[in-house]
Amino acid sequence: MAAMAAITFCPRCGTRLEPKHDGGRDRAACPDTVCGFIHYGEFSIGCAGVVIREGRALLVQRGWQPFAGSWQLPGGYAEHDEPLTQAVEREVLEEAGITARVRDVIGFRHSLGGTAGGGSTNIYVVFRLDPLGGEPTCDGDEIRAAGFFSLDEMAQMEAVQGLSRWAIEKALSATPHAGLLPELGGPGAGRPGWQLFGLRPPSLG
């Protein structure tokens, strides 16, 4: 049986949480029946952007730990109230100075992490973006350097993140609209905070 997450007090009412069997496992839950809070774990959503210009992919070099000095795609966490396409476009601009627009989704990674007494799960969505303008720049602190690099150049660089290279190779070898496309219509169209991604129509093949 999985360990309960390391949370002690109810974030709604402040009552000390107690074990409760729910959904086939023990969870930290508020004993106040009016409140009824149940902690289902910690979740986060990250995003990264593959931006290709003239056959070269945009990479940034981390300045902070963990993995300071390594090269990777620009990206980060999405805010809880931020559409994912806006999040990745923001991260590309903030970390590398490049204005870009989402084209499609290349893939995603699901990872389970853990800490003593609890656990977390992360979804990391990798987008392909079309460059609109700007030249690679960075803050020199959180991001040490930024630039466009070919696969041959990456092979000579130290510490290029494996997931980033995987995504770049996918983007370079795939057809223009091979990934999941943002849907403008369909279920939930126009609903605030709603984004839907689907396979490309045959006409875009």
* Whole-structure pTM value: 0.86
**Rounded distance between C-alpha atoms, residue 9 and residue 155, angstroms:** 49
Residue 66, pLDDT score: 85
pLDDT digits 0-9 by tens, 117-150: 345 789 999 999 999 999 999 999 999 999 999 9
CA distance 68 to 76: 15
More confident residue, 189 or 112: 112
Distance CA 29, CA 46 (A): 27
User: So what's the pLDDT on residue 186?
Assistant: 73
Q: Per-residue pLDDT for 44 more than 80?
A: yes
108 Cβ contact partners less than 8 Å away, ≥ 6 residues apart: 123, 124, 125, 126
Say which residue, 114 or 98, is predicted with more confidence: 98
Average pLDDT, the chain: 89
Distance CA 31, CA 19 (A): 9
**Among residues 125, 129, 126, 174, which one has the least CA distance to residue 148?**
129
State the residue for tokens 């360990």. Answer: 3
Residue 97, pLDDT score: 98
Is it true that domain 42-180 has CATH number 3.90.79.10? Answer: yes
For the domain made up of 1-40, give the CATH fold: Ubiquitin Ligase Nedd4; Chain: W; (2.20.70)
End-to-end CA distance of the chain: 46
8-12, 21-25, 147-151, 175-179: segment of lowest average pLDDT: 175-179
pLDDT tens readout for residues 174-199: 888 788 998 877 777 777 888 888 88
For range 36-63, the mean pLDDT: 94
- Find all residues with CB under 8 Å of 42, minimum gap 6, and list them: 5, 118, 119, 120, 121
Band (pLDDT 50/70/90 cuts) for residue 205 is low
What's the rounded mean pLDDT across residues 98-110? Answer: 96
What residues does each domain of the chain span? 1-40, 42-180
Q: Are 143 and 62 in contact (CB under 8 A)?
A: yes
Strands annotated E in 11-117:
18-22, 25-29, 42-53, 56-62, 71-72, 75-77, 99-115
Model confidence at 114: pLDDT above 60: no
